[in-house]
Structure 1
């Protein structure tokens, strides 16, 4: 049986780290003490933020791609598929993936595409690339790169975005293998009840280009706990059909949007905290890359090793939940 494994993973983030003191002072000037929300609900201490005019989601994606190609001892010529995912793409045309193809000196037979599933984007892209590779005998190796310039969307009047967001990119090399490893399964739950709660551009692209639109993200508060019951059902369904129990899994790489969500899932299943990868205190919330940054960090620190079973989970705006099961 042909399996699809993650051969290598690499990341890129800006040099500029901003700690909580800046944001606490910012909101104190507005008459709000945001300490509990920023530190205990979101789980933030610091985050990496673009502070120049030369970096954006495409430049970060390029740097992460170069890093993973060097790590894998590959070049752009070795890629049969380049998939770029972002909710803040630098370009709508030409696609960012085609621009990466040019920068990486890709070959003529390479398939390129941009995707956007908001914060769920990179898990969705890995899922779709893996399934496509299994179906297409001519695709042997893929680059999937996620990159969000999240702070571009942040509203300085709202802690939920301004004090929460960070900027980063992550790139993975997917490769066909006959080893008993790699992508196992995925599952989705979509309930579009909050489709209008987190819009960017706030009044749509056409109004923004015409100069009549607000530039920051609109964030209308909603009860995030509505995602928990379907999340548990997703986990149980996917694990059951793969003859695994949640206690048999070696690591959990979840959305880093809020440490409170991670704690809720951990307590629901009474799981060992050491199995949960958490990097949101250092990177902030990086959107499409957040579960993969946690995965990368777990590998780098020796907490995730080859042969481990990993459960990924995240939520995309609107909302859509995605969970993915993988043997690393």
Structure 2
């Protein structure tokens, strides 16, 4: 018998500080760069920015996790598996999931694991954790947290990252045999030809202590490329998932996609012939929060009533290099 693994609860957390587009427009105007058209294509207006003296990916992840636990009626002692998805870990050892376990007060008989699929990380983590839970009856509840603290790592001279990224965390509690069908099917598509376009740290971790290394050598390096390059593959994979599960785009209540680019979302909406309301967009408020962005969109859809129990959902994201996971789920 196929055991369902469904989303019991989700939550998100963002810092208090809001930075409006005007700051970035003026910042790059001083450099002789007009980024107004770029900001319009990305769909930005505000973003939440964390203070590195007070917050980081771990602390924001803990806040999101605490909110999810409180809303679910569960305690940390109920969680059998802690997964932390991030491409900007506060520590590489100990793992952030172990520290999450510690901060929340988890039990000893629990699995802890960090994962990194770049911006596709949380979609990948939820998909893979769901599949693991189906095969391990000892895991009834799993807590998956996704958080990237990107703003602190952006090069102030690079408009694609510095003007685009915001900071926030999301948390999802998965339940084995819970309410809802959960994960139905998924697809992965990888094209590694553009693997050199986005690198962090730019110099490679083996060179961090080399004499002469400057901050620009460590910041995220983002070389120019067509940001819509992944759209055709995404549309094809969504259609494939739907066809092999005897569904159509009309059956999908909400599309919870990467919030990297409003333009990409609009291209996917047009190709699939669906209404704008189905494509939940929060990038104007949050900026691009990377790995957490599809699940912030999901929880916003739950909060405003666009997503209800029993709805079919599509999750999609794209990671550097590039790699795209697409997930069909019934909430």
TM-score (norm. length: structure 1): 0.97
Tell me by how many angstroms 1:210 deviates.
4.2
Please give the secondary structure, in 2, of the residue aligned with 1:100: helix
Task: Kindly indicate whether residue 275 of structure 2 is the aligned counterpart of residue 297 of structure 1.
Answer: no
Write out per-residue CA displacement over residues 96-135 of structure 1, whole angstroms, 9 at most, x where no aligned residue.
Answer: 1111111111111100000000000000000000000001
Task: Kindly indicate whether residue 242 of structure 2 is the aligned counterpart of residue 244 of structure 1.
Answer: no
Please give the secondary structure, in 2, of the residue aligned with 1:23: helix
Q: Which residue of 1 aligns with 2:22?
A: 21
Write out per-residue CA displacement over residues 214-234 of structure 1, whole angstroms, 9 at most, x where no aligned residue.
Answer: 121110111233212221221
Distance (Å, rounded) in 2 between the aligned partners of 1:327 and 1:290: 19
Write out per-residue CA displacement over residues 165-184 of structure 1, whole angstroms, 9 at most, x where no aligned residue.
Answer: 00000001000126552111
Tell me by how many angstroms 1:209 deviates.
3.9
C-alpha spacing 1:183/1:235, structure 2 compared with 1 (3 Å) = same
Q: Which residue of 2 aligns with 1:115?
A: 115
Q: Which residue of 2 aligns with 1:76?
A: 76
Please give the secondary structure, in 1, of the residue aligned with 2:34: coil
Moved over 2 A (4+): 209-213
Unmatched 5+ stretches in structure 2: none
Distance (Å, rounded) in 2 between the aligned partners of 1:224 and 1:96: 30
Distance (Å, rounded) in 1 between the aligned partners of 2:160 and 2:93: 30
Task: Kindly indicate whether residue 104 of structure 2 is the aligned counterpart of residue 101 of structure 1.
Answer: no
C-alpha spacing 1:82/1:30, structure 2 compared with 1 (3 Å) = same
Distance (Å, rounded) in 2 between the aligned partners of 1:286 and 1:31: 27
Distance (Å, rounded) in 2 between the aligned partners of 1:173 and 1:235: 24
C-alpha spacing 1:91/1:173, structure 2 compared with 1 (3 Å) = same
- Written as runs of structure 1 = structure 2, the 5 A alignment for 1:176-325 is 176-177=176-177, 179=179, 181-210=181-210, 212=213, 214-325=217-328
Write out per-residue CA displacement over residues 24-55 of structure 1, whole angstroms, 9 at most, x where no aligned residue.
Answer: 000111112211111x2110000000124120
Distance (Å, rounded) in 1 between the aligned partners of 2:301 and 2:133: 26
The count of aligned residue pairs is: 327
The 10-residue stretch of structure 1 (43-52 or 117-126) with the greater mean CA deviation from structure 2 = 43-52
Please give the secondary structure, in 1, of the residue aligned with 2:218: coil
TM-score (norm. length: structure 2): 0.96
Task: Kindly indicate whether residue 1 of structure 2 is the aligned counterpart of residue 3 of structure 1.
Answer: no
RMSD of the alignment, in Å?
1.2
- Written as runs of structure 1 = structure 2, the 5 A alignment for 1:57-72 is 57-72=57-72
Unmatched 5+ stretches in structure 1: none
Q: Contact between 1:310 and 1:326, CA under 8 Å: does it hold in 2?
A: yes
Distance (Å, rounded) in 1 between the aligned partners of 2:79 and 2:9: 13
Please give the secondary structure, in 1, of the residue aligned with 2:318: strand
Please give the secondary structure, in 1, of the residue aligned with 2:317: strand
Distance (Å, rounded) in 2 between the aligned partners of 1:59 and 1:46: 22
Write out per-residue CA displacement over residues 34-84 of structure 1, whole angstroms, 9 at most, x where no aligned residue.
Answer: 11111x211000000012412000000111111111111111110110000
Please give the secondary structure, in 1, of the residue aligned with 2:230: helix
